[in-house]
Structure 1
Amino acid sequence: MVLALPRASISGPTRRRHSAQLVAAGVLIGVVVLVSLFAPLLAPYDPLATDPSAKFLPPGSSGHLLGTDDLGRDLLSRLLWGGRTSLLLAVLSVAGATVAGSVAALLAGFAGPRISGVVMRLVDMLFAFPVILVAVALAAVLSPGAPVVVVAIVFYVVPYVTRVVFTEVKQHTRREYVEAATALGATRWALMVREVLPNVTGQIVVYATGLVATMVVFSASLSAVGIGVQPPTPDWGQMIASGAKVVLSGHMYVALIPGLTVVLVALAFNWLGDGLHDLASPRNRGDGR
């Protein structure tokens, strides 16, 4: 049973602003995802193929729309293939961490005060560990690579999601619809799955969307410092790190192009999260929840 209350319509200017923000973010993310998925068909060159005779060709050169890097590799091809790695790691890691954190929060929210207190104190302990140091330690144990990025993102995201969802769950457990379901004989499992979970799912999705933006940047940062995705796999972070080495030689575009891509994708996910949050907020819905 999901609480259904009358909703007031969103005002015209507010609706248009939210719609424009969501559409812009959705289109940008959709384009990036599609071109990354179809990189094998869209990339004009092999992203790993080197050509020393064609290194540092500027953007707009014949046959190389975005130019080439210090090894003569086509930047457009590497950018398209790099999106498959960077987005996949960020999105799947955040999704997995969000599920794990939400389950822990739901169980803690419906458990007794002793159990919920233990769970949340463990979450507080996770906040005390700097995620960069955790990533460095993981790289020393597992060796640098994609698994380090995945584990580091999960380690970073789970406590935040658990804390946010736990707060939402505790608020909903005191709502009238939960009390009514309890009076009708609903079990604790039914209250979690049928009553509370549908009402907090929207907030979970909104929060996770914003986290993806941060994790896209974080994933690229780990690759840029050498403990994330390793060569020769194309990755936006690697491209930034490689380009940074030749910026002073006058080839700024080698680092600027992947850097701007990371910024735009992160902004798009932030716009999407902000737009969804505004539309889901009680003030704009007018339902008082």
Structure 2
Amino acid sequence: MSVDQQDDAPLRERIQENPGPALKWFAGALLLFSFEAGAVINFLTGLVGAPVDLPTLLTRDLIANNGYQTPGGAWKETFLNLAPAYAWAIRVVLVYAYAFIWMLWLWRGYLVFREHYRYADWTPRDDMVDRLRGHRWGQFGAVIVFGFIVLALFAPALGPTTVERTISNPYSHHIEYYNDQGQLENITVGSANLGSRSQGTPDRNVGPMQYDDFGRFHPFGTLPTGKDMFTFMAAGARVSLFIGLISIGVSGLIAVAFALLTAYYKGLVDLAVVIVGDSIMSLPRLLFVMLLSVVLGETWIADIYSGGFVLALIFAGTGWPFLWRSVRGPAMQVSEQEWIDAAKSFGQRPRVTMQKHMAPYILGYLLVYASMTLGGIIVAVAGLSFLGLGINPPTPEWGRAVNIGQSYVTTSSWHISFIPGVMIVLVVTAFNALGDGIRDAIDPQSEGGESDGAEVAASGGGA
């Protein structure tokens, strides 16, 4: 095969020419996936209302932290009979180690592609990756975002208990403990929660890194209802990530499609999209989102993922003009390049021109503004939950925890509002930092500056 033919060959044909490196990498990825394949199947079947319970490697059944302490101080029914705090910590370390190995293996896949299957020995993307690897602020954001995503993806394994046991259906589950008379008793989780409530006084408070009277370990303490707060926060992270990714994905597709169309055709097409986009942007977005949340709250679509799906669609429908404005300029710039005129003169179809020659140029900018907008969506979702809108109770959400604990800020139960508030600020800052790093990697001349589009994105598109 000649060099020109090789350059034009799709990736599939290049892999067929030299399948060895790709097969080795895929075998390693398949092995890593097999450890947690059951968790993926459990989550997907749970979304359609027919959950199954397949075993996985990193589960609380294998590394159990729910047990009871004998009068002599020994722990029973925990992993290696360790204290629940240590058993839980071991599971957390293993989960994050597993996720970190996945990240290393994905990086290895990029190196395999670059070494064996890429057209050229060097591309501008290599310089962008190198600049991002040296961007300390962006690396800080990447580390926090990584921790947040792992917390959301592995929420059932990371929590010291489960949402089903402590939040959704606590009176259908039981725990054992030794009472003051040294007798082993059986009590429902719901009843135990009533004795583990954090309500602002020293005798009614289970703070961070403490055990309750029933031998249960609470890394973040408990809520005023006695429910475990870490489990609440981990499940809430999954809800926030789901809403953010769905809304960013849908609004990003709309924004890219309109940016390519307006840049390629200009004229009336551009004018029509400008009018529609500006009309949506002129609305007070937060009030509009609140209105739609109430109006659509009684429809069948609001039952999907406890209202998370309809909320994601609302954010996507009201947020795409902000992303479109951010990528419209780069799309207009690339549409004026000579190779676009050459493609038109040779009779190349508009869809092919936009897909092959225009879209790759603006995807980097979309990634920058999408990462910043995602932080704004998390804040907006938390704000709606704080106001009692959006996610349907009792589904966990960070903003609801802030609302629940606001009357305990100056008491012994300060952790109820403080911890979720700090996590919201930290995660939103991390997404903005990651966006800054990606922006500076794409365009080194912008380092230290901030464009108007980035400011809009960082604020969640006005939300």
> In the TM superposition, what whole-angstrom CA distance separates every residue of 1:129-151 from its partner, at most 9, and x where no partner exists?
11122122113312273245223
Confirm or deny: 8 A CA contact 2:133 2:139 kept in the other structure.
no
Out of 43, 55, 58, the residue aligned to residue 207 of structure 2 is 58
The 3-state SS of whatever aligns with 2:195 is helix
> In the TM superposition, what whole-angstrom CA distance separates every residue of 1:201-258 from its partner, at most 9, and x where no partner exists?
1111111111111111111111111111121111111111111133254422100111
Out of 409, 420, 425, the residue aligned to residue 263 of structure 1 is 425
Are residues 1:178 and 2:340 paired?
yes
Following superposition of structure 1 onto structure 2, how do residues 200-279 of structure 1 map, counting pairs within 5 Å? 200-279=362-441
| Unaligned residue ranges in structure 2 (runs of 5+) | 1-6, 8-119, 171-189, 199-205, 212-216, 299-306, 448-463
> In the TM superposition, what whole-angstrom CA distance separates every residue of 1:57-88 from its partner, at most 9, and x where no partner exists?
11121211211110111111111111111111
Out of 228, 232, 238, the residue aligned to residue 74 of structure 1 is 228
2:140 alignment counterpart: 24
Following superposition, the deviation at residue 106 of structure 1 comes to 1.3
Are residues 1:84 and 2:238 paired?
yes
Are residues 1:134 and 2:283 paired?
no
The 3-state SS of whatever aligns with 1:44 is coil
Following superposition, the deviation at residue 16 of structure 1 comes to 8.0
Confirm or deny: 8 A CA contact 2:330 2:362 kept in the other structure.
yes
CA distance, structure 2, for counterparts of residue 85 and residue 130 of structure 1:
25
Confirm or deny: 8 A CA contact 2:261 2:269 kept in the other structure.
no
CA distance, structure 1, for counterparts of residue 345 and residue 134 of structure 2:
39
Are residues 1:281 and 2:461 paired?
no
Following superposition, the deviation at residue 40 of structure 1 comes to 1.3
CA distance, structure 2, for counterparts of residue 197 and residue 16 of structure 1:
22
Q: 1:284 to 1:116 in 2, by over 3 A?
A: closer
> In the TM superposition, what whole-angstrom CA distance separates every residue of 1:170-196 from its partner, at most 9, and x where no partner exists?
111111222233333323222211111
Following superposition, the deviation at residue 152 of structure 1 comes to 3.1
- Corresponding letter in the other structure for 2:233: L
Q: Which structure: larger Rg? A: 2
CA distance, structure 1, for counterparts of residue 141 and residue 276 of structure 2:
36
CA distance, structure 2, for counterparts of residue 59 and residue 112 of structure 1:
58
The 3-state SS of whatever aligns with 1:54 is coil
> In the TM superposition, what whole-angstrom CA distance separates every residue of 1:92-130 from its partner, at most 9, and x where no partner exists?
211211111211221222224012111111111011111
Query: TM-score, normalized by length of structure 2?
Result: 0.56
1:161 alignment counterpart: 323
CA distance, structure 1, for counterparts of residue 261 and residue 341 of structure 2:
18
Following superposition, the deviation at residue 54 of structure 1 comes to 0.7
- Corresponding letter in the other structure for 1:183: S
CA distance, structure 1, for counterparts of residue 125 and residue 240 of structure 2:
40
2:91 alignment counterpart: none
Confirm or deny: 8 A CA contact 1:178 1:191 kept in the other structure.
yes
Confirm or deny: 8 A CA contact 2:132 2:138 kept in the other structure.
no
CA distance, structure 2, for counterparts of residue 201 and residue 17 of structure 1:
20
| Unaligned residue ranges in structure 1 (runs of 5+) | none
The 3-state SS of whatever aligns with 2:384 is helix
CA distance, structure 1, for counterparts of residue 336 and residue 158 of structure 2:
53
Higher helix share: 1
Query: TM-score, normalized by length of structure 1?
Result: 0.88
Count of residues in Structure 1 that have an aligned counterpart in Structure 2: 282
CA distance, structure 1, for counterparts of residue 143 and residue 270 of structure 2:
41
Q: State which drifts further: 110-119 or 180-189.
A: 180-189
Confirm or deny: 8 A CA contact 1:216 1:262 kept in the other structure.
yes
Q: State which drifts further: 163-172 or 66-75.
A: 163-172
Out of 288, 305, 313, the residue aligned to residue 151 of structure 1 is 313
1:39 alignment counterpart: 155
CA distance, structure 2, for counterparts of residue 159 and residue 15 of structure 1:
30
Following superposition, the deviation at residue 268 of structure 1 comes to 1.1
Structure with the larger RCO, 1 or 2 (CA within 8 Å, 6+ apart): 1
Q: State which drifts further: 245-254 or 271-280.
A: 245-254
Confirm or deny: 8 A CA contact 1:203 1:277 kept in the other structure.
yes
The 3-state SS of whatever aligns with 1:66 is coil
CA distance, structure 2, for counterparts of residue 220 and residue 8 of structure 1:
36
Q: 1:19 to 1:224 in 2, by over 3 A?
A: same
Q: 1:272 to 1:16 in 2, by over 3 A?
A: closer
